[in-house]
Amino acid sequence: MTDTPTSDVTIDSKDASCPGPLMDLIGKVKTLDSGTVVELQTTERNSTTDVPEWLEEAGHELLEIEERDEYWSIYLEVN
């Protein structure tokens, strides 16, 4: 059992096909302050690998990926 991070911002990208969720995230992260915790909700399986790769590339921190009944929640902290 992991502790679910408390998010400051939720991005609902459910039903968006690739690369929609990642692009939604990139667009939003540009507007957020350092330290903001974001929950990205996605039904696109590729997001669970694409998003962590981008976070590493862009220097943000992946906190947690949680699989829910019909989507994934990807938690991250903006650096």
Partner 1 sequence: MHRIAIVGGGTGGTVLANRLASELRTEIEDGEVEVRLITADPNHVYKPTFLYVPFGKKTVDDATRPIEELIDSRVTLTIDEVTDVNTDRNRLSLADRTTSLRYDQLVLATGATLEPEAVPGLAEGGHHFYGPDGAEALRDELAEFTEGHLVLSVVGVPHMCPAAPVEFTLMVDDWLRERGRRADVDITYTYPINRAHGLESIADWATDRFEERGIDVETFFNVDEIDPESEVVETVEGTELEYDLFVAIPPHRGSDLVADAGLGDDGWVDVDRHTLEATATEDVYAIGDAADVPTSKAGSVAHYEAGVVADRIASRARGQTPTATYDGKTVCFLEAGMDEATFIEFEYGEEPYVREPSKPLHWAKLGYNESYWLTARGLL
Q: What are the residues binding partner 1 (CB under 8 A)?
A: 15-20, 22-23, 26, 29-30, 50, 53-54, 57-59
65 classed as catalytic: no
The H-assigned helical ranges of 1-79 are: 20-29, 47-58
- Rounded to whole angstroms, the Cα distance separating 79 from 61 reads 7
Please, what sign has the CA dihedral across residues 58, 60, 61, 65?
negative
Catalytic position from the list 17, 18, 23, 58: 18
Nearer to partner 1, 3 or 57 (CB): 57
Nearer to partner 1, 7 or 60 (CB): 60
Catalytic residues: 18
